[in-house]
Structure 1
């Protein structure tokens, strides 16, 4: 019985799990282990994004946009106080979809890295 390598990710949505299963379907054991190692360093939890978005209501708006890699929107949020707080409120509502979009892109980049790696042949003992 094989252990699911995605079991240790906290806060994973069913959509993210299904998407990662599709990516892992075309990989062997070694590739899937490397994928999980790469992806775990890049993945964001939706609760963290929600926390940073809520901090935008109290202080500097746009932190969540910088964390998910939207630098332009982050700068715009800082300069406009989160688009007069409306953009920040919309991000609070949509924090899960923002996180899923970021994680989907991170998964694709991690899968490309793993597929480009050259693996030495396994040694028989």
Structure 2
């Protein structure tokens, strides 16, 4: 059984618990492949936070584009982050936005290496 922190020490919180459940039945080789692919595809919550803060002052919606939510990103760009209300809500929920994206990436990577 592979240990999560041996392969992905940078993740924590809900994401760590979720990925650890995926790691439970992996061999060391599978865990290493998973970690390499997942590390390149996942989005760091701090990057989401920074781009969301920039959305308050520059271009709203960049954080949504980074999270591959193209429709919402374009909507935020054209409406000024839904008159900044959406951007403020996303500032509060930035960890949840990143976790939702990373959860989908983890599932996709898990299916690739299985």
**Smaller-chain TM-score bracket:** over 0.9
- Structure 1 runs of 4+ aligned residues shifted over 3 Å read none
d(CA) in 2 for partners of 1:5 and 1:59?
Answer: 36
Displacement, 1:19?
0.5
Where structure 1 has 5 or more consecutive residues not aligned to the other structure, the ranges are 116-125
Residue 66 (structure 1) aligns with: 65
2:107 pairs with 1:108:
yes
Q: How does 1:27-38 map to 2 (within 5 A)?
A: 27-38=26-37
Structure whose alpha-carbon radius of gyration is higher: 1
Instruction: State the shift of 1:6 in Å.
Output: 1.9
TM-score (norm 2): 0.93
Alignment TM-score, normalising by the size of structure 1? 0.85
1:62-99, Cα deviation, whole Å (9 max, x unpaired): 00000001000000000100000000000000000000
Mapped to 2, the partners of 1:59 and 1:17 lie a distance apart of: 32
Residue equivalent to 2:7: 5
Cα distance per residue 1:35-75 (max 9 Å; x no partner): 00000001111111000000001111000000001000000
| Mapping 1:87-102, distance limit 5 Å | 87-102=86-101
Question: Matched residue pairs, number?
Answer: 111
Match of 1:81 in 2: 80
Q: Which runs of 5 or more residues in structure 2 are unaligned?
A: none
Structure with bigger helix share is 2
Give the whole-Å Cα distance in 2 for the aligned partners of 1:87 and 1:43.
23
